[in-house]
Copies of this chain bind each other. A is one copy, B any other.
């Protein structure tokens, strides 16, 4: 794409990076950022993406997104994972490692980067905030806007978080399907099925499994949340009740489920033949607990990455919100709004209506939103009608990717590197 207008003085480049665990729709946010930036050629020159997130900035390994075709950028909307590479790399505090922040500014300055879009969770919002503050104090101001992303749905100040709706839909759908399977076999085979889901600190993903049932007695019969201290006796009694009354029991357990003293159930778990721990997840631990107590035949599944990568069954609502957050980030930035994160603001649940708002990064950084008590059922093993009302719109709608030869035809970027301008390297 050749640009015919002359570059105005106000035009600066943008840097975009993906951070932390990826999702089915983080690339939809990338698509929103890049497509929207292309609409403001007088303000934003090129969008450079960090190869492997912030590491790409520190090592001056930048991907020139202007070298990607319109089709590839558009295809990001239906491609899961982090197309530019993500990183689990938390910058230390300014006091502890000021050099890292100064290096970022140095790279940004070398590439005339005036906008920093950071697509991540709580930690990333903290980093974006610090970059904004330091860039100011170093006399090279950068407009820093966060783009929310986390499957855990634990960011505060936003009604929900892009990435969550799709994993929620995957878990709700999978729970409904597996439960039908167990129900049809329970007479002579598996009586108890345990599905382990993600969410180490907040049980939003586990809660989404609750959408699989509509009526009392529908599966899942038991959900184990990180927010509810595990009561083994109550749990085992409820398993027995379910098997006695419905013929089977479907249990969904969050990886963060823990005993009252804070120990994760998973920790209390397994050792391998050599005596090493950490082999099993909480799914097999819980399944085995049931077998010990009741002797029921069981099966367990651990969805692991399958759940957060499952773009094939993404929530259309989630895809739209992910894109909208990326788009809004750019629109805020070109308006000069700095150190904020776009949020999803719910206007009504039935019918579902939402708009994009924004919140200062300082208010988001390093905080977590857990499930409130009123979203849980009285016995703590299920979700309340209020929770269902909250969750249901988030999984609404399908947004199937295109298929080729029976498989989703996800795009892959060329990933052309921007020529390095600095002589100095940086050791991660």
Residues of A within 8 A of B (CB): 18, 21-22, 24, 52, 55, 79-89, 169, 172-174, 176-178, 180-185, 187-190, 193, 195, 211-212, 268-274, 276, 279-281, 283-285, 287-288, 292, 299-306, 308-313, 315, 392, 395-398, 400, 403, 405-408, 410
Q: Which one, B52, B184, B408, contacts A176 given CB within 8 A? A: B408
* Interface hub of A176, A211, A272, A300 (most chain B Cβ within 10 A): A272
- Using A187-B85, A279-B284, A280-B280 as known contacts, say yes or no to A407 and B304 having CB atoms under 8 A apart: no
With the chains together, A82 CA to B189 CA distance in Å? 13
- Give the complex CA separation of A84 and B274 in angstroms: 45
Chain B residues with Cβ under 8 A from A284's Cβ? 279-281, 284
Q: By the criterion CB–CB under 8 Å, are B309 and A181 in contact?
A: yes
Question: Can you pick out 10 interface pairs between chain A and chain B where the beta carbons lie within 8 Å of each other?
Answer: A22-B185, A88-B188, A174-B309, A178-B309, A270-B270, A271-B271, A279-B284, A279-B287, A313-B313, A396-B405
* CA gap between A180 and B285 in the complex, in Å: 29
- 6 additional contacts, CB 8 Å, given A299-B305, A397-B406? A81-B177, A87-B188, A88-B189, A268-B273, A279-B288, A301-B302
Contact B268 A270 (CB under 8 A): no
User: Are the CB atoms of B182 and A305 closer together than 8 Å?
Assistant: yes
**Contact assessment for B276 and A306 in the assembled complex, using a CB-CB cutoff below 8 Å:** no
Q: Which residues of B are found within 8 Å of A405, using beta-carbon distances?
A: 211, 392, 395-396
Q: Which of B181, B305, B406 contacts A169 (CB 8 A)?
A: B406
Residues in B neighbouring A24, C-beta threshold 8 A? 177
Contact of A178 among B184, B190, B306, B396 (CB under 8 A): B306
Cα–Cα, bound, A311→B313 (Å):
11
B403 touches A400 (CB 8 A): no
Nearest-CB residue, chain B, relative to A397: B406
Tell me the smallest distance from the CB of A343 to a CB of chain B, in Å: 22
CB A53 to nearest CB in B, in angstroms, measures 8
A250 nearest CB neighbor, chain B only: B305
Q: How far is the CB of A196 from chain B (nearest CB, A)?
A: 9
Measured between beta carbons, the chain B residues less than 8 angstroms from A184 are: 18, 22, 81-86
User: Which residues from chain B contact A306 at a C-beta distance below 8 Å?
Assistant: 174, 177-178, 195, 301, 303, 306
Closest 8 CB pairs of A and B: A301-B304, A395-B406, A82-B184, A81-B180, A177-B309, A181-B309, A52-B187, A178-B305
Q: Bound complex: CA of A299 vs CA of B184, how far in Å?
A: 31
Q: Choose from B81, B193, B283 the contact partner of A183 (Cβ within 8 Å).
A: B81
Please determine whether A185 and B280 come into contact, CB atoms closer than 8 angstroms: no
Q: Closest chain B residue to A21 by CB distance? A: B185
Q: Which of B269, B305, B400, B407 sits near A400, CB closer than 8 Å? A: B400
CA distance A85 to B187 in the complex (A): 8
- Do B410 and A403 have beta carbons less than 8 Å apart? no
* Cα distance A411–B62 in the bound complex, in angstroms: 51
B-side contacts of A82, CB under 8 Å? 184-185
Q: Which residue of B lies closest to A18 (CB)?
A: B184
* A299 / chain B contacts, CB cutoff of 8 Å: 304-305
Partner of A193, one of B22, B169, B305, B310: B305
* A199 vs chain B, min Cβ distance (A): 15
Chain B contacts for A406, CB-based, 8 A? 169, 172, 211, 315, 392, 395-397
Contact status A302-B305, CB under 8 Å: no
**Within the assembled complex, what's the spacing in Å between the Cα atoms of A220 and B414?**
21
List B contacts of A174 (CB < 8 A). Answer: 306, 309-310
- B302 engages A87 (CB within 8 Å): no
Task: Assess the B302–A300 pair: CB atoms within 8 A.
Answer: yes
Known: A81-B184, A405-B392. A276 touches B303 (CB 8 A): no
Known contacts A268-B273, A400-B398; decide if A80 and B407 are in contact (CB<8 Å).
no
Q: How far is A249 from B280 in the complex, measured between Cα atoms in Å?
A: 20
